[in-house]
Amino acid sequence: MKPLEGLRILDLSRVLACPFATMLLAELGAEVVKVEQPGAGDETRGFEPFFDFGVSGYFLACNRAKRSITVDLRKPGGRQVIRDLAARSDALVENFPTGALARRGLDFAALRQVNPRLVYLSCTGFGQTGPYAGRKGYDTVFQAMGGLMGLTGERGGGPVKPGLPVADLTSGLWVAIALLAALRGRDATGQGAHVDFSMLDGQVALLTIAAARLFALGEVPPRLGTEHPGRVPTASFRCADGRFLHITASDQHWAPLCRALGLGELAALCTNAARLDQRDRIMAAMTAALGGMTRAQAVAVLDAADVPNGPVLALDEVVADPHVQARGCVAEVAHGESRHPALRLPFRFEGLADPAPLPAPVLGADTDTVLASLGYNSEKIAALREEGAI
């Protein structure tokens, strides 16, 4: 069996953060019913890039293993469908603007009346409380306001966003963790709960060691590119063939690194504190040494010395890497008559079924089946369709 088999999640979320979270739970075995707008669906169904079979790669990346039903929450019949689904679900996930579902009678206070054991998670940009509660935002807004962008960039340069939507993706991880924690609490108490998750809060919580530096020393870490504010050497270096190699060496690696790169005159700097004082000298010496080797030569020399290092790979190099392939990080997934590559979840189980990528749903493909499981007969389903509620 899969770890989360038997868990039912009602997914009223859209775009990236929460759909990513519910996909993780779906591939771990939870039954996830994704509610989408009739005729349109999740906005990401229209986002680039598209596979050659006409489906959004963006949507497929965040919605595998779910069931799709189409429900219009503006219609009375649609709202009743949500109440009936909530009555049979363990959890509900939504990322509507603050107060939007309350105005439709679908907030936690209303739905706990039909299911006292329901865990209800609300994901918003700024949370249900505080002076920014009504504000809108996207991934890069939270990167900016949460400190990540201010910490990222080259020496002396301006702020830079990472190459991935880090605020969205890490929010998805926080949502999955919070939901599982609340469900564990529900199992212990017998009562559901409301989880208020703010994407800004999620980014602030990730500041960890940067915040520790501020709290301990009163220092705001400067932007240092690939270097580390408190550890030397940690940086990426350009090699003779124009490729980059990243090196992270602690005290125990320093002497072997100096021998490998012919930097014997620096070997006496055997503590990190000493190397911090000589950062510029060390970086200049390592830059010169590695600039005379190809990346493959540098990797071979440093691997032989047991010094932690890794080539800076482009995305296509990552998915083709032999270790990534051997670990099964990329799999083929069916979508109708077509197939597409997808990324697997990053863990393997013994004693439980390993999670594997499953197809994403066609818009509304499961509407009638899910409604029938609630006891709706064909006449009632037809009436909802006539109303425009499904």
Catalogue the active-site residues: 168
Q: Given CA atoms 149, 151, 153, 155 in this order, what sign does their dihedral have?
A: positive
Residue 257 in contact with residue 249, Cβ under 8 Å?
yes
C-alpha distances in Å from residue 120, one per residue of 169, 193, 368, 371: 20, 6, 25, 21
- Number of Cβ within 10 Å of residue 307's Cβ equals 22
DSSP state of 29: T
Helices and strands counted in the chain (H then E) = 17, 11
Q: Given CA atoms 304, 310, 311, 315 in this order, what sign does their dihedral have?
A: positive
DSSP strands (E only) in 13-64:
31-36
338: three-class secondary structure by DSSP: strand
**Cα 22–chain centre separation:** 11
Q: Is the peptide bond before 233 cis (omega within 30 degrees of 0)?
A: yes
- Number of Cβ within 10 Å of residue 275's Cβ equals 19
Paired with 123 in beta bridges are 197
Residues in the chain: 390
Q: How far apart are CA 90 and CA 29, in angstroms?
A: 14
Residue linked to tokens 């083929």? 332
Q: Please give the backbone phi and psi of residue 284, each rounded to the nearest 5 degrees, phi first.
A: -65, -40
Q: How far apart are the first and last CA of the chain?
A: 33
Q: Please give the backbone phi and psi of residue 320, each rounded to the nearest 5 degrees, phi first.
A: -95, -5
For residue 201, give both structure tokens: 């809060």
